[in-house]
Structure 1
Amino acid sequence: MLFASHCGMFLRDHLREVGERCRQFFFFESEENLEALAFLVGLTHDFGKYTTYFQDRLLGKKDWGKLSDHGFLSALYTAFAVERSAESFRMGEMEKFLPLVAFFVVFHHHLDLRSLGYVGERLEEGGESWVVIEKQITNLREHAEDISGELEALGLPPLSSFFEDLEPLRMRLRKAKYHFENHLTEERQAQIAILVLSLFSALVDADKKSAGKIEMIERRVLPASLVETYKEQHLGNQKNSGPIDVLREEIFVQVVTRVPSIDLRRHHLFTLTAPTGSGKTLTSFAFALKLRERIEKEWGYSPRIIYALPFISIIDQNFAILSQVLAQIEDFQENHSAYLLGHHHLSELRYEEGGEEKEIDMALSLIESWESEVIVTTFVQLFHSVVGFKNRLLRKYHNLARSIIILDEVQNVPGEYWSLLRRVFLLLARYLGCFIILVTATKPFIFEEGEAIELLPEGKRYFRTFSRVVLRPRLAKPQ
């Protein structure tokens, strides 16, 4: 018997492709190589499609209702497979939670994330969900020989062992859930939460790209001197035309020359506090380009640059400036979207690469997963991705890993969110290797003393020069 994952796609081929892509997409800062975990999650995420209930629905023969669903059954087999390989991950205390992490991720890969309590209810014996599982297991037994051959070819544990271990597995998952909720420190829970989000995002994006037959977009080179070249060509006559222009250039040089002195392992959080009109857009982007170049040389990967702003009006303005800077690259026009992408609720649904405009479904997939070197977006889009639960918004989360995130005009974030953002930024820096730059003229107290490096430490003196408005109160009544 042959098994399909989607119309025109064999299940075993889909599982193998998603496993490879999931391993490629996933990142989590750890001494151990967790890419093997990501591969295994991708390789097993659609195991439940081996039931004839699902195959009948896919082929249009009959919809068996909940018996045709595959998420819960797939999650159980994934947890079983991860448990069988858990010793190879050697993560100390976290190791015992990896089967639960894998179960949670696969359970939701077609859903929005829900609470661990909701998932725990599905593991209760005698519940409606478990009755469905028992019927699906009976169905798998009827075709065990065909399924076992495919699992063996994929290097996965045999069906017979899964059947025998199903009830003990259910109990171990419930025990791990209880231990997570009642015995772990808040920091350890946060660490596992970031692992879940990164793994979930990698799986969702890999799965959707495989199902949609979306080809990978080639990464592009961004010369570190783009901003300097742009300034020389477009602003050359203005650089020394007056005292304000001289100070803008002085600020620019002070900031970008900080890059070589940064300790890449310890320094991930930065602030740039400079007056309005001092050229913070180009300065912060130049800093990001030079930081990216240094990371490429020393660590061997190319960080994406994510430029987030509070308002669509200034997004359009800054997007236009960055377009002009990047337009100096020879193949920019024919690969516009691979270099620069604008993403907010009013942005145009277009993706141009290879000299052609992608079809609408492919364009949507590439835009929602932020397949570009530079992404200009809103605070809302960014924050809903780093603290959200929506499947669609979390799809891009894995591309946040090891990125350089610029938050311009960050003082516009309401004060009640500062504590949350500080916590999230610290976690992104620690576990996803993100470099975060807060750009503002009126620095909010998001980070505590010593947590972030100010890129313009003597910036106060520039505010006096850039103070170009004089208020003359006239309170006396007119004669």
Structure 2
Amino acid sequence: MELSEILSHPGKRLIDHIGRIEAFDGDRLFILAAKFHDLGKCTESFQCYIRNKSDSADPHAGVSALAFLLANADRLSSKELLMISDAIFSHHTPLKSRKKLAETLSVQMGWSWNLWQRQYAELLANEEVERWWNLPGMDKELLEDLGFDFDELQMGPEDFIHQKLLYSKLIFADKYEAITSKTFHPPALKCSVEDLEHYKKRKGFDTTSFRSKAAHHIVRNWKEDPQRVVTITAPTGAGKTLASLELALTIAKKEGKKRIIYAIPFTSIIDQTVAIFSEIFSGGITAHHYRVAYPEMDEEGHNDYDRIKYLVESWSHPFIVTTFYQLFFALFSEHNSDNIKFQSLRNSVVVLDEVQAIPFELWKVMQQLFEPLAKILGTVFVLMSATMPIVARNVPELADKKVLFRSKNRYILKWIDLKETDEERKLEELAMEVIDAAGRGRSVLCVVNTIKNAKRLYGRLKENIEEERLYALNSYMLPVDREKTLSALRTKTSNRVEEKVLISTQVVEAGVDLDFDIGFRELAPLSSIIQTAGRINREGLRGQAEVKIFDKLGYEIYDSSLMSATRNHLLIALQECDGIEERQILKLVESFFATLDLTLSDRYEILKAIEKFDFPKIGEALRKIFRLEDDYTDSVVLGVDLREMERRYFELEKEFGRWELKRAKEKMFKSFLPHILNIKKRDITKSGVIFKKSDLFGLLYLEEYQGIYSEKTGFLIEEEQGIEGLFELF
């Protein structure tokens, strides 16, 4: 078969596919990867498959990588050969480890090796193919030598980043061309500082206010000394969000950055952030998280679902608002679907809001990675928090944090010693403290560490506090009910909470803009306590409010290192004085994180795995850190009949092709995502309810859930059942 007749996809010539991919990036290693990645499609097996003459084809990535190594072994370094061959070998699968590639070449593994030899012989037999790719004869000894070379290579963080970038560029450009038959060109960033200034004028912002001056100070400091990694440390309510936005726009304009990526900890606060930014810029803001829905039509009314979905998931739009989960999986995951985003970090401004929410197991790793990431990718990282952990070293601070913290004195932390030692009695004693605070007509926030204790405390309080004043917030509540609760707490004109009581878990700590009169917080890591305190007297209109800290109610849920540092820095100080004021917090927090910097380690040995190019081990560690392999919870769908969805799916199976069917299943899954809760297995068992199981979606579900769910407190644990029937059920 002539080269001009060989197809890469139905109706698409291979040489055209490769040419459009090569045009995506001028890097020589990328161009080599692009040229060889689909070479294996030149075999008869694949050409019969792509023309619908057979139902399947032999894999093509392995022989493509093999051919690349044989054709380039004498022209590139061992590191370059390893990186390109792994990108080619893995462009439809997760990244391989260095050890796996070395074994593949030096051990000559089984049936795969025999297949590759046969495929390579077929490639050599086609004169046009042999000439276009300049293929030499098979040389087993050369491949074995390369395997041994790969096994002995010493790799570092910079190599890790280069490998991820090469792989990401290849899989992104390959799939984009497959969908569109075009070379991707990034759209221009149209958001500007001028848009932000117009927004401030419309909203009547005082340009002489404390917040405005702080924002100008931050931007001026960066202009005077532009760095690739910077921090903004400022107390809650100091206007960090708009200040970071102004900084990001300024950096983008001055340095010609093509994209702004704004990352926040939780999916639950993405929509409100996107709403604010969209008001400032009249659209042009793209949200990306696991629950995002994709439109069917593009701006011109064309049915273009695949392209729209792909552009969002690959962060190809110029302004992305996303989660820490998405960002860190782009950085560390070995999987194809996560890595398409990595290349979009290039030439961007990446803002990480609420940096204290980065899992502490990654702090030591990021200390080694932020600077090389910024340098290699041409990216500026802006790290922002009221309680800044040491996740990057020797990084300039743009805010005048000492002045900012001294200027705020909205609350005082105090220790209350619950006299009771029994857990039940301690809970009763806490309830009396909250009732006393609420009895004076004040709004109260009480944050405890577990859902169980939050619900038990709520149950005790509802006997003494009017139902219209008492609210709950926890992760056993569906997103719609959490949002209803937050809306009901706020006054019509502000985020101030008046005369209401909220019993919450940690879900209230980041991104929830509420303003209470008084707070209670179960002992937790210092950064969590300060985040709770940021919801007390937030606007500073009440003089000085109290945030009362009490000892833990039950078992420990936090890491022992975090709790030990908290006890040594906060607990002892609170027990020895009348209280710690907000203006004293900065010194306390910095001492706390300095101690943790000495005691915490790279627990999952990610840096060692990086040196070994052990991508599967890195991905496994990440899934543990984000608790994706948690054996203690089940995902449960409430209020949706998955049996009916399964029936519709199998009906579609009769008429849809493989890709259409996959898309239909994805749309079904997206439709019931807002109805999913992650519930502890023990609570499911104790509920006594027999849940159905969908094998198609791999989830438990229940169409009717009256009696086991309340819109006020969420999924009912054992202690609530039978009592919560008084509530209006969702």
Identity of paired residues, percent? 30
For 1:364 and 1:353, how far apart are their aligned partners in 2? 10
Matched, 1:61 2:53: yes
Residue equivalent to 1:32: none
TM-score by length of 2: 0.54
- Partner residue, 2:84: 102
Q: Deviations over 1:369-421 (max 9, x none)?
A: 11111110000000011011110010011111222111101112232221122
Q: Does 1:320 align with 2:299?
A: no
SS of 1:212's equivalent in the other structure is helix
Which of the residues 196, 199, 207 maps onto 2:163? 196
Q: Which has the higher contact order (CA 8 A, sep 6+)?
A: 1
CA distance in 2, matches of 1:476, 1:104: 59
Q: Which of the residues 47, 60, 70 maps onto 1:70?
A: 60
For 1:208, the equivalent position in structure 2 comes to 175
Per the alignment, do residues 474 and 381 of structure 1 end up closer, same or farther by CA in structure 2, a change over 3 Å counting?
closer
- SS of the equivalent of 1:225 reads helix
Q: CA deviation at 1:465?
A: 3.1
Paired residues for 1:350-369 under 5 Å = 350=295, 354-356=299-301, 359-369=304-314
* 1:365 Cα deviation from its structure 2 partner: 1.0
In the alignment, the residues of structure 1 paired with residue 194 and residue 73 of structure 2 have an alpha-carbon distance, to the nearest angstrom, of: 49
1:6 to 4, 9, 14: 9
1:49 to 41, 64, 72: 41
Are residues 304 and 126 of structure 1, via their aligned partners in 2, closer, same or farther at CA, if it must alter by over 3 Å?
Answer: closer
Amino acid at match of 1:96: S
Partner of 1:331: none
Q: Distance in 1 between matches of 2:346 and 2:318?
A: 13
Distance 1:16 1:382, change over 3 A: same
- The reply on whether 1:460 has 2:460 as its aligned counterpart is no
Confirm or deny that 1:134 pairs with 2:134.
no
Alignment RMSD, CA only?
2.5
Q: Match of 2:322, SS?
A: strand
Listed as ranges, the matches of 1:380-459 within 5 Å are: 380-448=325-393, 451-456=394-399, 458-459=400-401
Alpha-carbon distance, 1:453 to partner: 0.7
Higher alpha-carbon Rg: 2
In 2, Cα distance between equivalents of 1:101 and 1:388: 16
How far apart are the structure 1 equivalents of 2:241 and 2:181?
33
Find 1:247's aligned residue among 207, 210, 222. 210
Shift of 1:312: 1.9
For residues 225 and 81 of structure 1, the distance between their equivalents in structure 2, rounded to whole angstroms, comes to: 53
Residues of 2 paired with 1:63 and 1:199: CA distance? 32
CA separation in 2, counterparts of 1:178 and 1:193? 15
Q: Helix, strand or coil: the match of 1:192?
A: helix
Alpha-carbon distance in structure 1 between the residues aligned to 2:246 and 2:21: 36
Runs of 5+ consecutive residues of structure 2 not aligned to the other structure: 420-432, 434-730
What are the Cα deviations for residues 330-385 of structure 1, in whole angstroms up to 9, with x where unaligned? xxxxxx5xx32110011122388655476211111111111111110000000011
Task: Tell me, in whole angstroms, the C-alpha distance in 2 between the residues paired with 1:413 and 1:60.
Answer: 48
The verdict on how the C-alpha distance between 1:255 and 1:214 changes in structure 2, with shifts beyond 3 A counting, is farther
- 2:231 is paired with a residue whose SS is strand
Secondary structure of the residue aligned to 1:444 is coil
My pick for the range that moved more, 250-259 or 41-50, is: 250-259
Secondary structure at 2:317's aligned position in 1?
A: coil
- Deviations 1:105-126 (Å, cap 9, x if unpaired)? 1000000113122222322236
Distance 1:379 1:276 in 2: 20
CA shift, 1:218, in A, is 2.9
Q: Which residue of 1 aligns with 2:672?
A: none
- Kindly tell me: are residues 189 and 414 of structure 1, through their superposed partners in 2, closer, same or farther at Cα, counting changes over 3 Å? closer
Shift of 1:169: 3.5
Q: How does 1:295-306 map to 2 (within 5 A)?
A: 295-296=255-256, 302-306=257-261
Q: 2: distance between equivalents of 1:278 and 1:357?
A: 44
Mapped partners of 1:132, 1:225: distance in 2: 60
1:129 Cα deviation from its structure 2 partner: 1.6
- Pick one of 178, 183, 192 that aligns with 2:151: 178
Query: Aligned pair in 2 of structure 1 residues 434, 55: CA closer, same or farther (>3 Å)?
Result: same
SS at match of 2:325: helix
Offset, 1:474: 8.3
1:163 aligns with 2:142: no
Does structure 2 retain, via aligned residues, the 8 Å contact 1:369–1:399? yes
Q: 2:129 aligns with which of 147, 150, 161?
A: 147
Query: Residue 274 of structure 2 aligns to which amino acid in structure 1?
Result: F
For residue 228 of structure 1, the aligned residue among 197, 201, 208 is 197
- The 3 A distance-change label for structure 1 pair 204 and 386 is same
Query: Bigger shift: 354-363 or 198-207?
Result: 354-363
Name the CA distance, whole Å, in 1 between partners of 2:197 and 2:67: 54
* Number of equivalent positions: 414
Once the two structures are TM-superposed, the CA of residue 276 in structure 1 deviates from its matched residue by 0.8
Residue 85 (structure 1) shift: 4.4
User: 2:351 and 2:379 mapped to 1: Cα distance?
Assistant: 11
Return the alpha-carbon distance in structure 2 between the equivalents of residues 239 and 388 of structure 1. Answer: 44
